Structure 1
Amino acid sequence: MKLIKLGGVTLNQIPLHWEHNLKNILDAIAIGRSKKVSILCLPELCITGYGCEDAFYAPGVHATALKMLERIVPETENMVVSVGLPMMYQNHIFNTVCLIANKDILGFVAKQYLPGDGIHYEPRWFTPWPENNVSKIKIGEKTYPFGDIFFKLGDIKIGFEVCEDAWVSSRPGVKLHKYGIDIILNPSASHFAFDKLKVRKRFVLEGSRAFGCAYVYANMSGNEAGRAIYDAGTLIASVGELKAVGERLIFDDVRLTAAVIDIEDNRVKQAQSSVQFKFADLTDICVESSFSFPEILPEESENEDKPWEASSHIKEEEFTRAVSLGLFDYMRKSYSKGFVISLSGGADSAAIASICSMMIRFGIESIGLEKYKAKLGYFKEIQDCQTAEEIAARMITTAYQPTENSGSITRNAASGLAKAINATHLELDVNKIFKGYTNIISEKLGRQLSWETDDIALQNIQARVRAPSVWMLANINGALLLSTSNRSEAAVGYATMDGDTSGGLSPIAGIDKAFLRSWLRWLENEGIQGEIKIPALKAINEQQPTAELRPAESKQTDEDDLMPYDLLDAIEEAAIRDKKMPLESFQLLLNQFPQYNRLQLKDWVIRFYRLWCRNQWKRERYAPSFHLDDKNLDPKTWCRFPILSGGFDYEIKELEAYFSKLN
């Protein structure tokens, strides 16, 4: 037997927050040493933070990253540690991993495959390193191997796949296997998305099986830079068997997952494979070190971190935990003292208020009350709180802001939910302000405004007069105002700019209304593990969604204004995610929604495409939102579309012509 203890660490970093990031890295090394870990893999670009954006171009960033590396190296006595940082080489920037063994830098591996789709933008800053190329880089007075290299420490070979490297068919592990690699380390910054864990497990397990080696995947954690949420979940596998799985969506800054691997057993299994051995001069590509790994005795080989399927949650729980973690990190990293929510009594604002409540509960469960408060040390007002309920009263402020068109149902629903989550709840009657604006404009125009002639203007001004008061509360509290628009309504512009879009963060702008409504019913009746639920949501769930901006006798509902939400989401998926033209979307819907007549379907499809084009300017102005899946509409990170366009006029005419022939 040849037993090696491997560790993967998840870190909650902050771009360019040097001391914070360094402390987390040094804490990780100290924890690894206390757990007798021999090889420790830290996440991608953990020294600088992954989301530095165009700051990666700054020479000062690279200089400081190297200074931080110098402070890390002396802390690695009798350990092997990998850390990620950007490196400038021959006037190009590379995403690299530095391998350190016993206070000695062995070399730098450069990432070969760079993600450039959707939320990923790495090719803007980094150059992909060409396969089979090896060079040297000088740092101070020393020169180090650089590029497509692997390492031999004693008789143990260590190679790398850096995040995206493992997601491609020509992954570096294929070549490393031919060199008889023993361990592959994968430092990653892989953002959360629904069901993504299944894909990660697949490439880790398949890589370890196909390459006959041990495999360590270490990911970032938390809301690092604003939009992406990293869900941690370290994975350690050995020749196709999962040895350890780290917890996901945690509130810790540092979390180690470790497992003991029998290298000799892996070599026997690798010898039984039919892979062709690669005969080559390894002088350049293999960096050798005399480092000797400490011996692990068989009685010390019991793994502490067992594979646990609790890392896989149903979608409703994943959504709750991911957005809760995103909110917590956004709040603390922006030094905001809680949240302000305009609580209308409808689904969207209720969802946000509920998640704020869950954020407090999950955080305390994850790291304990005292550590939770310590991570919010700047928030003096909560430091004497002894319960989650006390914290909620000081962290969550909700405001119901009625006009003459508001009703008792939404008022009672809002106050009932606020009471259930222990928020500080205010009622701010804005009808006088609404009337004041309409009277001013009526006087200047020389006519009375009416619902027959000024419907949209009268609706929008009601939404807008609610914004100043909640902004004022946010300013007074030093809190973060949360805007309440969802993705379905963002797609068609069914939101009032500077009204319900007002806020510094838009937590649910990446999720569709149909899912939100089903999630609210789930949280009312089932909840987390059947225990954590909010029965007060019943008053929300019994209503039909309505903007409540027209007189009560109009019986306004959102779906009457737009179209059924499940249909809207289906058109959005076809048109935006799958890039279908109006005619193609219509043809898909004919089969998908036989309950609607063809004329109605045609009109809804046309309405969607026209509203989509007309309202791109609104999506450009939305507050930052969380990335949760491949249906995101954020124009800055995922779904780019021109503000001015032809509006699909030609394509809509094709649909009209097809429909005429159909009938």
Structure 2
Amino acid sequence: MRLLKIGGAELNQTPMDWERNKQNILDSIAEARKQQISVLCLPELCITGYGCEDAFYAQGMQHTAVEVLHEILPHTKDMVVSVGLPLVYQNRIFNTAALLVNGKIAGFAAKRFLAGNGIHYEPRWFTPWTANVTGKVSFEDYAIEEQYRTQEYPIGDILFDIDGVRIGFEICEDAWVADRPGQKLYHYGADVILNPSASHFAFDKLETRKRFVLEGSRAFSVTYVYANLLGNEAGRAIYDGGVMVASAGKLEALSERFSFKNYKVTGAVVDLSVNKLEKFQSSSFSQVSQEGVEVIRVKDMDLPEAQFEQNHVSEAVWESSDYILEEEFCRAETLGLFDYMRKSYSRGFVVSLSGGADSSCIVSLIWLMVKRGVNELGLEGFKEKLGYFSQLKDVKSEEEIMRHMLVTAYQPTENSGEVTYNAAKQLANAIGALFHNLNVNEIFKGYVGIVEGALDRELTWEQDDLALQNIQARVRAPSVWMLANIRGALLLSTSNRSEAAVGYATMDGDTSGGLSPIAGIDKAFLRQWLVWLEKNGVQRQFTLPALKYVNEQQPTAELRPQESKQTDEADLMPYDLLDEIEGAAIRDKQMPLECYRLMKFKFPQYSPEQLKAWVIRFFRLWSRNQWKRERYAPSFHLDDKNLDPKTWCRFPILSGGFEREIKRLETYKG
């Protein structure tokens, strides 16, 4: 029996925030030492931050990353710690993990498979390392101590041997491919595989991670450690953390995700002899490898024997909930909002609260953000993380925090109704937000009068419907921008993904804001989530009964005269159908005729003529409104149906609009 305590850390890093990133690393090392963890895995590119984009090209950044690495070195005495950073070798930039052993650099494992799909652009900055290749790297030109400048360190396809324990790497994407490096590490007798990752959150993604961690530990007969980033690092991607330690196909530790903390360390005691026995008994392990991985033997480090302790898998408690998607949405959004606010030094939020589903969802998330943050960090800890927010200095309760955290404004025109006003006011009061009733009707009428004078004619709903609707939405923007500017707060845009798909939003109206937190979520899900929050709540404790005033309504823009009984679905199509068409057309790249056939199967309650009309409407509106999606405020990435053209779904601003394909559908007889 050889017991070893091994673990990983999740870190809330920020691109190029050198001192805070380093402090999180040092704090996690100190915490690991306190927990008597001998081998600690930190996340991918944790020194620089993962989302540095083209700043990775800057020589100054590359040098600073190496300088910070050497500042971390002295803190790793009597420990083994892996730290991620970009590294230049032969005039190429590589994504590497430095293994620090007892205060010295043992070498650099380099990532072989780069993430270049979806929101990832790693091949733009990094070169994939070639299998079975190693080299030597030095730091002659770096501003570090002279004793380190003259040394050479191994880099590449490396297996480290420390006190008889063989440690190898799969860096994030390396584990997601069929030809995993772990297969080769297995044949070289690896005991431990570390996976430093920057794996962004998406719905249900945890289960996929669990599979490759558990299968890796079983198939390669190793202890497998997965460490991930945490929080909203660079603006769009949210990292959920979730450190995992698995051994011999069994999950030994799993941290609860979406923490509001700067760092969190999770460890487990494992018996390395169990995995060695599996190798001895395996027929596939009988052949000795002759070439490939270089084995680096590290001297002057004895790994201490751990004491047996009960390992803890904490995540299972809420992941087993029947409401996993609602829980994940809540946790991801609230952490994303909190980090975006504090890293942009914004003093709270401003929301134009219409009383409808979208704006109500956003203010509910802000309320939950405060609830979750104070619940985890404590009131003083929550305030400490927002130290720049001076208005919170003397507050004594969550209720006081909410009065400073969120300002809402209901902005009616003559076409607004009492139902939405009551819903907005009741919700604002229930969550403790400031509430203003800013009537913008005179401003709306003023613009109409100016244009009527210029055109020398009266504007009518029969002739000028779209213009009269849009100007009402636009006149609401200046006042909420003004409130945000006065308070130094962040104005949130309230558009959702279903509206983004068909351009059912007023540019410079409801799209106004510095962040669009629900632009990646479809309307049908938002309405379902609001009902869940009203009646069940997060972990059955945070409920908002006041949402009943919102949930009882049909979604409406309230921009036409009330006698028209305007609703969103009458303007567009049923939201559940719209979302299905969007998934088929945009995510799955189906043409109009293919979408129609699929919708005919999924929605038999509608006539073929109606379904044809809706499919055609979707494709035409999608094509005409790419310019709007290009101008949306940054949004959070939460699943594989994101429409953000900057990070996920690219489409030309000008196109043929699927006219040939639409004609084929129009003439189709089925």
TM-score by length of 2: 0.97
| Equivalent of 1:154 in 150, 163, 166 | 163
| Equivalent of 2:223 in 189, 214, 222 | 214
Contact 1:233 1:311 in 2 (8 A): no
Contact 1:111 1:128 in 2 (8 A): yes
Q: Distance in 2 between matches of 1:328 and 1:8?
A: 24
Instruction: Quote how far apart the aligned CAs of 1:284 are.
Output: 7.0
| Equivalent of 1:430 in 423, 440, 444 | 440
Q: Distance in 1 between matches of 2:56 and 2:665?
A: 47
Q: Distance in 1 between matches of 2:380 and 2:300?
A: 41
Which residues in structure 2 correspond to 1:528-567 (within 5 Å)? 528-567=538-577
Contact 1:635 1:641 in 2 (8 A): yes
TM-superposition CA deviations, 1:91-113 (whole Å, max 9, x none): 21110000010011010011000
TM-superposition CA deviations, 1:492-523 (whole Å, max 9, x none): 00000000000000000000000000100110
TM-superposition CA deviations, 1:283-336 (whole Å, max 9, x none): 970111124334335xx3214533540352510011011000000000000000
The answer to whether 1:251 aligns with 2:260 is yes
- 1:629 match: secondary structure: coil
TM-superposition CA deviations, 1:1-26 (whole Å, max 9, x none): 11111010000000000001000001
Partner of 1:225: 234
Query: Which deviates further from its counterpart, 636-645 or 524-533?
Result: 524-533
Partner of 1:324: 334
Instruction: Quote how far apart the aligned CAs of 1:42 are.
Output: 0.2
Partner of 1:305: 312
Instruction: Quote how far apart the aligned CAs of 1:572 are.
Output: 0.1
TM-superposition CA deviations, 1:345-404 (whole Å, max 9, x none): 100000000000000000111221111100000001012112111100110000000000
Contact 2:132 2:291 in 1 (8 A): no
Which residues in structure 2 correspond to 1:282-301 (within 5 Å)? 285-297=294-306, 300-301=307-308
- 1:426 match: secondary structure: strand
Q: CA RMSD in A?
A: 1.1
- 2:461 match: secondary structure: coil
The code of the aligned residue for 2:304 comes to E
The code of the aligned residue for 2:111 comes to K
Partner of 1:358: 368
Q: Distance in 1 between matches of 2:300 and 2:160?
A: 11
Contact 1:38 1:293 in 2 (8 A): no
Q: 1:486 to 1:582 in 2, by over 3 A?
A: same
Q: 1:308 to 1:346 in 2, by over 3 A?
A: closer
TM-superposition CA deviations, 1:414-472 (whole Å, max 9, x none): 00000000001101000000000000000110001010100000000000000000000
Q: Distance in 2 between matches of 1:76 and 1:395?
A: 40
Partner of 1:621: 631
Partner of 1:133: 133
The code of the aligned residue for 1:305 comes to H
Partner of 1:172: 181
The code of the aligned residue for 1:581 comes to M
Q: Distance in 2 between matches of 1:415 and 1:628?
A: 30
Contact 2:269 2:311 in 1 (8 A): no
Instruction: Quote how far apart the aligned CAs of 1:530 are.
Output: 2.1
| Equivalent of 2:521 in 511, 523, 527 | 511
Instruction: Quote how far apart the aligned CAs of 1:614 are.
Output: 0.1
- 1:630 match: secondary structure: coil
Q: Distance in 1 between matches of 2:49 and 2:329?
A: 24
Q: Distance in 1 between matches of 2:371 and 2:191?
A: 42
The code of the aligned residue for 1:445 comes to L
TM-superposition CA deviations, 1:92-141 (whole Å, max 9, x none): 11100000100110100110001111111111111111111111111221
Instruction: Quote how far apart the aligned CAs of 1:529 are.
Output: 2.3
Q: 1:156 to 1:653 in 2, by over 3 A?
A: same
The answer to whether 1:121 aligns with 2:121 is yes
Instruction: Quote how far apart the aligned CAs of 1:275 are.
Output: 1.6
Q: Distance in 2 between matches of 1:531 and 1:28?
A: 31
The answer to whether 1:370 aligns with 2:380 is yes
The answer to whether 1:87 aligns with 2:97 is no
The answer to whether 1:336 aligns with 2:343 is no
Q: Distance in 1 between matches of 2:80 and 2:300?
A: 9
TM-score by length of 1: 0.98
Q: Distance in 2 between matches of 1:517 and 1:279?
A: 59
| Equivalent of 2:480 in 470, 483, 486 | 470
- 1:368 match: secondary structure: helix
Partner of 2:209: 200
Query: Which deviates further from its counterpart, 118-127 or 287-296?
Result: 287-296
Which residues in structure 2 correspond to 1:398-417 (within 5 Å)? 398-417=408-427
- 2:15 match: secondary structure: coil
Q: Distance in 2 between matches of 1:636 and 1:116?
A: 14
Partner of 1:101: 101
TM-superposition CA deviations, 1:194-233 (whole Å, max 9, x none): 0000000000000000011100000000000000000001
Q: 1:150 to 1:209 in 2, by over 3 A?
A: same
Instruction: Quote how far apart the aligned CAs of 1:280 are.
Output: 4.2
Partner of 1:524: 534
TM-superposition CA deviations, 1:154-208 (whole Å, max 9, x none): 2110000000000111000000000111000000000000000000000000000
TM-superposition CA deviations, 1:586-624 (whole Å, max 9, x none): 010111000000000000000000000000000000000
Partner of 2:63: 63
Partner of 2:615: 605
How many corresponding residue pairs?
658
- 1:136 match: secondary structure: strand
- 2:43 match: secondary structure: coil
- Identity percentage over the alignment? 64
Q: Distance in 1 between matches of 2:243 and 2:310?
A: 14
The code of the aligned residue for 1:453 comes to Q
Partner of 2:146: none
Q: Distance in 1 between matches of 2:10 and 2:43?
A: 7
Contact 2:133 2:292 in 1 (8 A): no
Q: Distance in 2 between matches of 1:307 and 1:412?
A: 41
Contact 1:213 1:270 in 2 (8 A): no
Q: Distance in 1 between matches of 2:447 and 2:461?
A: 15
Partner of 1:580: 590
Partner of 1:53: 53
Instruction: Quote how far apart the aligned CAs of 1:276 are.
Output: 3.5
The answer to whether 1:381 aligns with 2:391 is yes
The answer to whether 1:444 aligns with 2:444 is no
Which residues in structure 2 correspond to 1:480-499 (within 5 Å)? 480-499=490-509
The code of the aligned residue for 1:17 comes to D
Partner of 2:580: 570
The answer to whether 1:41 aligns with 2:41 is yes
The answer to whether 1:24 aligns with 2:33 is no
- 2:68 match: secondary structure: helix
5+ residue gaps, structure 1: none
Q: Distance in 1 between matches of 2:342 and 2:13?
A: 12
- 2:283 match: secondary structure: coil
5+ residue gaps, structure 2: 140-148
Instruction: Quote how far apart the aligned CAs of 1:281 are.
Output: 5.2
Contact 2:197 2:229 in 1 (8 A): yes
Q: Distance in 2 between matches of 1:66 and 1:539?
A: 56
